[in-house]
Amino acid sequence: MKKPRSVWAYLRSVISKKAVLGSIILLAACFTYLRSYDEPKSLFYDELYYVAVAQKYIKHYMQFEVHPPLGKLLIALGEVVIHPNKGIEISDDTVKTGRINGDLPPQFTPSGYRFFPVIFSTLSALIIFLIFCSLSGNSLLAFFFSLMYVFDNALIVNFRGALIDGTLLFFTLLSILYFLHLYNKVSKLGPWNYFLLGCLASLAICTKIVGTILFLLFVFLYFKEPKLNFKKMLSRAAFYSLGLFIIFFSVYYIHVALGSRVLPDNKGSASPEYLTLVSNKGIYNPLNMYVPIRDNMLDMKRSHSNMAKVDMCNPLEIASHPVGWPLGIKSINMLRESSTASDAVKYLTIQGNPVNWLIGLLSVILSICLVVSKTVFKTPIKNKKLYNYILIFTALYVGYMVAIIWSGTQRILYMHLYFIPLVFSFVLAFLMFSYLFEKYIVKKDKIILVSLLLFASLILYNYVYFSPFTYYKALTYEQCMNRKWFSFWNTYCEK
Amino acid sequence: MKNKKFKIKALFSDSRYVLLLSLILLSLAVLYKTVKFNTTVEKKIKLTLSQQSEAIKDLHDERKTVLTKVFFVDEVDFPLSSHAFTHVHLKSLSSYQFKDNFFVDLETNLKVIKEGVYEFTVCSDDGFSLIMGDKVVIESTGPREMQCSTANIAFPVTGTYPLRIQYFQGLGLMGLKATYKNEKDKRVYIVGEDSPFMTYSLPN
């Protein structure tokens, strides 16, 4: 007689370990990123700019922006979809300078504007988990290392706002996930795979120009493919470019088409031809897109070149040089509020989880050492597949940092630009761990498991310790100063 | 012995133990940064917390103490707090007791080095009384929000004077801070903080 299966055995047969661990990561990300994301009610940091831009989209005003439009279009879309401010009038004067001027109505809530950035940031946790699974196939290890993203205080603060870095990271991770999928089945690739990779990369680039680092993925895939004849090479490059172009064009078409009105005395960088297109409704014709896109590109170039440079001699300067970012130089206080009833002050501060940042930095150093020793000294490698991944992510990290350090000589930069390479450093931490302890991981060694549990506890402990900075909770001066572990962090505490 | 040395060497040659040891060291560093172990301060002021069995309405209410706790602190600086009576250096002095309706008695010896007139200021939530020797110098005995009271005290000769501060916490926020300054000097010192004008020591 056949023995009946228990419910537990049945569930185990239909639900994989990967699905369970992925769900836990997603739930944890909902707790850290999504929970009460409408707090604080006041706009902070660049939200003052992005909400003004979104408001202009909603009111159909033509505008020029320093960043590509996709991130801000999504911020506006959240407000349109959720419309929590229905019936609240935001005047043109409040938004006309490209930054919120004056007070918003007291009933105003930012939940609509923050909706898509926070949803994308939450989903990024799941994508990181899937990337780790794709890199090693070990879902338990992927689970532990995904905690670095889920419980990083700096990422949470920034990504819960109506800002564009969370959206950028989401599209970046999505591109990487698809790239890894293609990289693992490289012998069966066709031009349409390159087309889709181009589309995904373009989504990131259309959010923020630093997304151009994803061109490297195309290069890695291109040279991974065996025996490509010239015709095939050309078709792949063409399809990739087509993907890039279609998304780029569509995003800018929406951006231009939403600007059917001109704010009085606010023509920005619009050329007379562009203004004529606006007045005669020519902006809706895709064939007329050349002039608006050209004007937008020129304005973007001008805005970047006109930006101030970092003033290191100013003690109140919140901008910083990219070289210091991996060490947490400098934290940014985005919002604070004193209370008359207590000497405690609420802070919203970009302050990373030091355990994550330290392990990320050590992993980058180790990865560079490994790549250099293999390249220069021909050191034998244990696992070629893992080594190739390490090489790719080291190149992404170093490539991004070199580009941004160069950019730092041209214009002012802020620490939140480090978030993309920070996540690359988390991936490198995962890869270096897998590479160094491969044989023990396979054996499910207990010391390794204890180490992973200790690692997870450290991340959680530090997340909780720094969470008042993350969720706008009140701290006394002394409590705030206790969290300023190093003077070079420049953590702001109000006396 | 030789065997033991060999084992330690083997321990460090195993990457798993190096990893575990590194994480333990990192955990200790994090604990050192986040938890204040054995926080000690110079013992200059005796502080007695007395939990009252009933609601306190005035500093001169009859004391019906159910529990006392003694601490030694260096300065009279207890920042305003909603949940615990907290010393600026020692952190919370309250556990599950001493949240509401308790008295605080602070005693110290003040040694005047330079005679002259000194301005004493006491900020408190709720009431307090500052007593020099047997004489009440300033007081506000009823409940109040954080407010400051100031008085000038003349010390015609140098010498040691006993100083007491009585304070009570009724309900709500709690906090106490006492400062002094010489009439000819701009700098304000916290009571308990030594200066070129006066020093503080624990009463015998």
The pLDDT of residue A104 is 82
Using a cut of 0.80, tell me whether the model's pTM lies above it.
no
The pLDDT of residue B136 is 92
* Token pair of A115 as six digits: 């909706």
Q: Are A459 and A353 in contact (CB under 8 A)?
A: yes
How far apart (Å, rounded) are the C-alpha atoms in residues A439 and A437? Answer: 6
The pLDDT of residue B130 is 95
On average, the pLDDT of chain B sits at 87
Q: Within A206-281, where are the H helices? A: 215-224, 230-257, 272-279
Whether B23 and A455 lie within 8 Å, measured CB to CB: yes
CB-based contacts of A150: which residues, under 8 Å, 6+ apart?
Answer: A25, A28, A29, A32, A125
Reply yes or no on whether the pLDDT at B3 is more than 80.
no
Mind telling me how many Å the CA of B130 is from chain A's nearest CA?
23
Q: Are B200 and B43 in contact (CB under 8 A)?
A: no
Q: What angle do CA A394, A398, A404 make, to 5 degrees?
A: 150
Q: Can you tell me the mean pLDDT for A413-429?
A: 95
Q: Can you tell me the mean pLDDT for B62-72?
A: 88
Reply yes or no on whether the pLDDT at B204 is more than 80.
no
DSSP-assigned states of every residue in A458-477: HHHHHHHHHHHHHTT-EE-H
Confidence tier at A3 by pLDDT (50, 70, 90): low
Reply yes or no on whether the pLDDT at A206 is more than 70.
yes
Task: Kindly list the residues from chain B whose CB atom is less than 8 angstroms away from the CB atom of residue A358.
Answer: 26
Mind telling me how many Å the CA of B174 is from chain A's nearest CA?
9
- What pairs with residue A261 in β-bridges? A61
Confidence tier at B2 by pLDDT (50, 70, 90): low
Confidence tier at A17 by pLDDT (50, 70, 90): confident
Whether B80 and A485 lie within 8 Å, measured CB to CB: no
Chain B: which residues have CB within 8 Å of chain A? 15-17, 19-20, 23-24, 26-27, 30, 33-34, 79-82, 86, 88, 173, 175
Between B2 and B64, the more confident residue is B64
* Token pair of B75 as six digits: 């300065």
How far apart (Å, rounded) are the C-alpha atoms in residues A354 and A359? Answer: 8
How far apart (Å, rounded) are the C-alpha atoms in residues A366 and A428? Answer: 9
Task: Kindly list the residues from chain A whose CB atom is less than 8 angstroms away from the CB atom of residue B82.
Answer: 342
CB atoms within 10 A of CB A325: 26
Hey, CA dihedral for A312, A316, A319, A323, is it positive or negative? Answer: positive
Q: Within 13 Å and on the Cβ side, how many CA atoms surround A46?
A: 22
Task: Kindly list the residues from chain B whose CB atom is less than 8 angstroms away from the CB atom of residue A435.
Answer: none
* Token pair of A124 as six digits: 């990024």
The pLDDT of residue B58 is 93
The pLDDT of residue A298 is 93
- What pairs with residue B48 in β-bridges? B70, B105
Task: Kindly list the residues from chain A whose CB atom is less than 8 angstroms away from the CB atom of residue B175.
Answer: 343
A354-375 tens-digit pLDDT: 999 999 999 999 999 999 999 9
Q: Which chain B residue lies closest to A343 (C-alpha atoms)?
A: B80
The pLDDT of residue B173 is 87
Least confident stretch, A77-81, A357-361, A458-462, A477-481: A477-481
Chain A: which residues have CB within 8 Å of chain B? 341-344, 354-355, 358, 436-437, 440, 445, 447-448, 450-451, 454-455, 457-458, 461-462, 465, 476-478, 482, 485
**Whole-number percent of chain B with pLDDT over 70:** 89
- What pairs with residue B149 in β-bridges? B122
The pLDDT of residue A484 is 87
CB atoms within 10 A of CB A442: 9
DSSP-assigned states of every residue in A71-88: HHHHHHHHHHHH-TTTT-
Reply yes or no on whether the pLDDT at B38 is more than 80.
no
B99-155 tens-digit pLDDT: 789 999 999 999 999 999 999 999 999 999 999 988 999 999 999 988 999 999 999
Q: Can you tell me the mean pLDDT for A203-232?
A: 88
